[in-house]
Each structure stands twice: as C-alpha cells, then as structure tokens.
Amino acid sequence: MDNLKLYEINGSYITYLSAYAPHLFQNKKSGQKNERKYIGIVLHINGFDYFAPLSSFKDKHRMMKEGLDFIKIKDYAVINLNNMFPVPLSEAKYVDIRNERDPHYRALLLAEYRYIKSIQEKIWKNAQNVYKIKIKEGDASSLAKRCNDFLLLEKACADYIK
C-alpha cells in the first residue's frame, strides 16, 4: 500500500452516506474554520477503499486509553477507526499540506502527518482487525457496537458509484 495521506471527502457523499451511518462525522460544523480531514487509505477490502476521520484533540481524549479503534496522534488529533467508511476515489481529494495558507494550521497538519506516517503500519493493522471484528461479531461486543455497519456502507458506496 502507498503511504497514508490526508484527504478531504466530498460533502455531498458524506451527506448521502450519513443516511446509512447516523453517527458519521460531517465535514464542517458551523463556526468551524477548516474542513475535516480524513486518513486514507486505511483499508482496501472487497474492492473498496476505506478512509477514517481525523478529529481534533480535546481534553476528554487525555483520559481516554487508546484501543484498536481509537488512536491518538500525540495531542494533535485522534483517529476513530470504528467510524471508517468506504469512499469512491472520485469523492476523495488529496490534501497538499504545502498549499495551506494559514501557517499555524499548516504546521499542525504537518506535525499530524509526520506522526501518522510513523505509525501507519499500526493504523493499517488496526483497521483490518476492526473490520474483521465487526463482520464476525455483528453487534456482539462493545467494539462491534461502536462500529459503522461496514457491509451496509459498502452496498451504499456501490450504489452511489452507479
């Protein structure tokens, strides 16, 4: 696989998919300056490319322990692999950090990206395991209950492509 990269996902695709995944993160809340970034490709399975949302680090994350589906990017951000979802590559736009105009945001993205690259093997392995657990267990464990319904999202993604 190529190195993990940062992407933005087309907002209309996120809106479409949110009907199948009610807790899917939107790209931008009101008052939010920058669009949400996604890590991709965290998993390639069944012909689908999966992306995981990157969320800003909050105080509550300090107390939370990392797990299979929750990875801290130092105190910059967190990755929620339970909320990963398939995205047609036509709906994903690579983020070239060098083009970010705000120097503070560019520095943050660069720091996040450097750390993400240093742990990308862990991210790929965890994404694979989260997927397998959800498929195998359905909603039988607390981890599986937290996950998007990957098979449903794959069907929705395939329908969107058509």
Give the tens place of pLDDT for each residue, 118-159.
999 999 999 999 999 999 999 999 999 999 999 999 999 999
DSSP β-bridge partners for residue 5: 40
Give the tens place of pLDDT for each residue, 91-113.
999 999 999 999 999 999 999 99
Q: What is the largest CA-CA distance in the chain?
A: 46
The pairs formed by 10-18 with CB atoms below 8 angstroms and a separation of 24 or more are 10/91, 10/92, 10/93, 13/87, 13/88, 13/91, 13/160, 16/156, 16/160, 17/85, 17/153, 17/156, 17/157, 17/160
5-161: which CATH topology? Thiol Ester Dehydrase; Chain A (3.10.129)
Q: What pLDDT score was predicted for residue 47?
A: 95
The residue length of the chain stands at 162
What tokens appear for 58 in the block?
């909050």
The one-letter code for the residue type at 105 is Y
What tokens appear for 88 in the block?
């047609």
DSSP β-bridge partners for residue 50: 43, 86
Alpha helices in 5-78 (DSSP H): 11-18, 59-63
For the chain, the structural domain boundaries read 5-161
C-alpha distances in angstroms, 144 versus 13, 101, 109?
Answer: 24, 40, 30
| pLDDT at 34 exceeding the cut of 90 | no
pTM score, whole prediction: 0.93
Per the omega criterion (within 30 degrees of 0), is the bond before 41 cis? yes
